[in-house]
Chains A and B, each alone.
Chain A
């Protein structure tokens, strides 16, 4: 019984973390698709590759204009993307305030307001809220939301797109510029015109142009910028997943250790308790192989029962965690997928089988006469 609980706990942890990883992968995967024909450009010494960090070195708009001149660039739009809330550091893609259009035609095609409308070019003080943030911001079309101590009127709410825009608030670029500049250190502010800066720019490749090659061209032709093509971007996003997967592997190893040792211990004890029974089976004609097989099967069954229990509790827990996460962060954190469940079950059964091998081998090697005489 304790053994089953041991396995269940390991598999439970595996399922919960796996569900988090699956959820992150869904978001990252779809966001990555979006960047397939785009080049992200940031200031050369920007703090992070994606320029998400408030307080990064700004990218001057002059450079953005220079990028537009590079052959193969269809158009380029400057943006500022800032953490919505600097005090929390959620796992996965953080909620963002995004200023500036993210592309042109595709932008309109992909991000559709479920309610209200998108932002017009010359507007100020308005916002379009991503699906996952509606609840946490208490946003409705026509209501006011406070972002970085400024009031914005909500004019639209985005449809769910399973990209990072689900967790973003779009505001006009000039508003974002002001928020950004106000967050810079004094020494930076000297003579800086908020209207001249962005944090990053998205360059759209002319259809048929290799966006990775375009990124290299932009870096070569425009001084002081870093340009990331889709391959590099995906690699960057992939790092988020790699962290998740590393944690997952760690938990898996731990489960392997604890659960496996637990089964190993139980089965070894069980074999020691049943030495006589094994002797009787041998006397009745069971081969050593047959005795070993029965023990491995039993051990695998223990693994399977523990695994099923762990998956069930894990799935319930993921669901239970999702509800407050929805309410507070406005986004679900877990996704229990079929492949996760299958993987966890296979893991638990494999664990059971492996842990059964030593006691089975031990049982198979017992001398039948000694086993029969065992008290």
Chain B
């Protein structure tokens, strides 16, 4: 079963009274289980909107979105909150750590939302921070960490709940090239759990880490490039 099926979705939103933005126009995309898809396209092509729709942060105007066997376009808000808390991990361009919490506490917060007990949270958060190489930095606040380190905390935060799907919006956009390469290597390595990844990026070097690149323009998928052999689940799946 594919991790994500997006079928013919439309997304309209208003920026003031007469200014309707048609961000997605009949977009369709299928991401196989464990597949790493990079989404590229010019600014305003609807990349981030697509990511928000897949991440249940934003509702579609028309069309269907399925995560695993759940049709999320039919779900109520509380159920969507729950999916984000348990099944989806977000990584943002600006890291978006909570400045008043330490690295460990930032990761533990996501574990708490995912419904883990207090003890499990602490152990799991410390373990995942060790995996991203920050075992010496558990009690540091975001302001005491470099950009690369902050993004590694954010990755730990996204992965602490072992989500089925990882969504990354320009995860290396605010990093120097060395840190960016490190982050991408880390993502590749930690994906061992079989998570599907959808990553929005401008940078072809980063997109090159993906199994497949999807090109978006004016809210439509205009091209695809297969870089590696698709995982068996991802191949030949159609929306039923």
**Residue contact A282 to B96, C-beta cutoff 8 Å:** no
Q: How many residues of B contact A (CB 8 A)?
A: 24
A283-B78 contact given A276-B96, A277-B98, A372-B92, CB 8 Å threshold:
no
Looking at the complex, which one of B52, B58, B99, B109 makes contact with A284 (CB distance below 8 Å)? Answer: B109
Residue of A nearest to B90 (CB): A283
A286-B81 contact given A369-B52, A369-B57, CB 8 Å threshold:
yes
Residue of A nearest to B88 (CB): A285
Q: Does A182 contact B (CB under 8 A)?
A: no
**Residue contact B58 to A369, C-beta cutoff 8 Å:** yes
- A199 and B113 alpha carbons, distance in the complex (Å): 76
Top 9 A-B residue pairs of the complex, sorted by shortest distance between their CB atoms:
A285-B85, A285-B84, A285-B113, A287-B81, A280-B96, A368-B57, A283-B90, A284-B110, A369-B58
**Residue contact A285 to B81, C-beta cutoff 8 Å:** yes
- A369 and B56 alpha carbons, distance in the complex (Å): 10
Residue of A nearest to B160 (CB): A284
Closest CB of chain A to B19's CB: distance in Å? 15
Can you give 27 A-B contacts (C-beta < 8 A)?
A276-B96, A277-B99, A280-B97, A281-B98, A281-B113, A282-B84, A283-B55, A283-B90, A283-B96, A284-B85, A284-B109, A284-B113, A285-B83, A285-B84, A285-B86, A285-B110, A285-B113, A285-B114, A286-B81, A286-B113, A287-B77, A288-B77, A290-B113, A368-B57, A369-B52, A369-B57, A372-B96
Residue of B nearest to A371 (CB): B57
- Interface residues in A271-326 by Cβ distance below 8 A to B read 276-277, 279-288, 290
- A284 and B110 alpha carbons, distance in the complex (Å): 6
- A287 and B110 alpha carbons, distance in the complex (Å): 12
**Residue contact A283 to B98, C-beta cutoff 8 Å:** no
Closest CB of chain B to A267's CB: distance in Å? 15
Closest CB of chain A to B154's CB: distance in Å? 10
Closest CB of chain A to B229's CB: distance in Å? 32
SS class of chain A's interface: helix, strand, loop or mixed? helix
- A372 and B99 alpha carbons, distance in the complex (Å): 15
SS class of chain B's interface: helix, strand, loop or mixed? helix
B90 contacts across to A, CB distance below 8 A? 283-284
Closest CB of chain B to A361's CB: distance in Å? 16
A287-B58 contact given A280-B92, A369-B52, A372-B92, CB 8 Å threshold:
no
- A288 and B113 alpha carbons, distance in the complex (Å): 12
A284 contacts across to B, CB distance below 8 A? 84-85, 90, 109-110, 113, 157
Closest CB of chain B to A185's CB: distance in Å? 74
B55 contacts across to A, CB distance below 8 A? 283
Q: Mark each residue of chain A from 257 to 276: 1 if its CB lies under 8 Å from any CB of chain B, else 0.
A: 00000000000000000001
Residue of A nearest to B113 (CB): A285
